[in-house]
Amino acid sequence: MPDRVLVAGIGNVFCSDDGFGPEVVRRLAAEGALPAGVRVADYGIRGLHLAYDLLDSYDTLVLIDALPGDDGAPGGVVLLEVTADDLGDGEFDAHAMGPAAMLAGLDRLGGRLPATYVVGCRVTDVDEGLGLSEPVAAAVPVAATAVRELVARLLAGAPAETRRS
């Protein structure tokens, strides 16, 4: 059972649907009342900041992020489990800290990959622009609920149930 959970919204709010993660984090913060031991933070495009925060011995990481829309309908929310095998060698470049590179490079910083999940949304537009597309905006409350359910299950010692909606 995890004691410390980090819920991290990642994405660029200046690239339309890529701002999904930060928007879900804003919703979670506005709704409040996550259990003790759960920290919710908007990391935006600060992958290196997230990597350093993970050195603080979190048991579980829940990333909230935009996912390419080529595997499903725009606005579809998925829950994925991520392991070290999913990350490859994660070439470390502080100027291009994508999530896989950041997570794979944790050991080089003296950390370890905690149990990691992604609550993701299939997106339509990640071009420069402000605001989420209609299907991705509609997915924000769905994703917030998925995060709350995942955290509750994990804190209760129950296995996560990956799902697609």
Q: Report d(CA 40, CA 101) in Å as an integer.
A: 21
pTM for the model stands at 0.88
**Exposed e or buried b per residue across 115-127, where buried means at least 16 C-beta atoms within 10 angstroms of its C-beta:** bbbbbbbbbbbbe
- pLDDT-derived band at 165, boundaries 50, 70, 90: very low
99 or 118: which leads in pLDDT: 118
Question: Position of tokens 């991520």?
Answer: 82
For residue 122, the domain's CATH number is 3.40.50.1450
Is the pLDDT reported for residue 17 higher than 90? yes
Output the pLDDT for position 3.
85
Q: What percent of the chain has pLDDT over 90?
A: 52
Q: Is residue 42 part of a domain?
A: yes
Is the pLDDT reported for residue 146 higher than 90? yes
Number of domains the chain is built from:
1
Output the pLDDT for position 90.
56
Express each pLDDT in 83-107 by its tens digit.
877 776 655 555 455 677 777 777 7
Q: Are 117 and 82 in contact (CB under 8 A)?
A: yes
The answer to which of 118-127, 141-150, 153-162 has the lowest mean pLDDT is 153-162
Q: Is residue 90 part of a domain?
A: yes
Give mean pLDDT, residues 35-55. 87
Determine the structural domain holding residue 88 and report its residue range. 5-155
Q: Is residue 117 part of a domain?
A: yes
Q: Which two tokens stand for residue 16?
A: 């339309």
Output the pLDDT for position 163.
57
Mean pLDDT across the chain: 85
What is 5-69 written as a DSSP string? EEEEEES-TTBGGGGHHHHHHHHHHHH--PPTTEEEEEEET-HHHHHHHHTTT-SEEEEEEEE-G
